[in-house]
Amino acid sequence: MQIIEQPHAIIHPGLVAGIGFFDGVHLGHRSLIANIISKAEERQMASAVITFRTHPREVLHSDYCPQLINTFEEKIEHLSQTGLNYCIVLDFTPEMSQMSALDFIRFLIDNYSLKCLFIGYDHRFGHNRLEGFEDYVNYGKELHIDVLQAEMCMPEGKHVSSSTIRQLISEGNVSE
């Protein structure tokens, strides 16, 4: 997996990607990543995740101190074991937080040759996270890319998320 930290650094003509913080690179993330890789292979494109060096809430709320599952370095190591072609690392800034979802998608297209974007079942991005999946699909149509929704991963009928895992760890329930 190649780590990309600068715009225009991907030489592949098309990219299938998913976006998220990917704390813990847990089963839900791995399910999304499997969708990305499968679609990229089907379309003969490259696969990628788009993530952030620091948690966006740290930038938006100076008093927020997340108890993360992994360090940034550990996250990159876990992602490198998934079979992805690229990991795009963005620095979340106050300026980026003001971008609309449409502008952010346009930024990804212009800088990374994005052709298909997978969205997690509950993921929201863009200024104030006001827009949802249907908005992203409409933006994709406008910008000539596919926006697809990843399915929720529920092994043994249980919801998997970084927040749930953090809660279980804080309760000392590591085996769960």
* Sequence-separated (6 or more) residues with CB below 8 Å from residue 154: 160
Give pLDDT tens digits along the chain (176 positions). 999 998 877 767 899 999 999 999 988 899 899 999 999 999 999 999 999 998 877 777 777 767 889 999 999 999 999 999 999 999 988 898 889 999 999 999 999 999 999 987 667 777 666 788 899 999 999 999 999 998 766 666 677 777 788 887 888 888 77
pLDDT of residue 157: 64
133, 119 contact by CB (below 8 A): yes
Which H, E and C letters describe 17-54, residue by residue? Answer: EEECCCCCCCHHHHHHHHHHHHHHHHHCCEEEEEEECC
Task: Please report the sign of the dihedral spanned by the C-alpha atoms of residue 19, residue 51, residue 39, residue 83.
Answer: negative
Nearest CA to 163 out of 127, 123, 125 is that of: 123
pLDDT of residue 140: 96
Give the C-alpha separation, 50 to 48, whole Å: 7
Task: Please report the sign of the dihedral spanned by the C-alpha atoms of residue 27, residue 28, residue 31, residue 33.
Answer: negative
pLDDT of residue 3: 94
Give the C-alpha separation, 14 to 112, whole Å: 8
17, 88 contact by CB (below 8 A): yes
* Sequence-separated (6 or more) residues with CB below 8 Å from residue 97: 56, 59, 60, 127
pTM over 0.95: no
Nearest CA to 145 out of 111, 125, 118 is that of: 118
Look at strands 15-19 and 86-90 and give their pairing. Answer: unpaired
* Residue 135: count of CB within 10 angstroms of its CB: 16
Give the C-alpha separation, 56 to 62, whole Å: 10
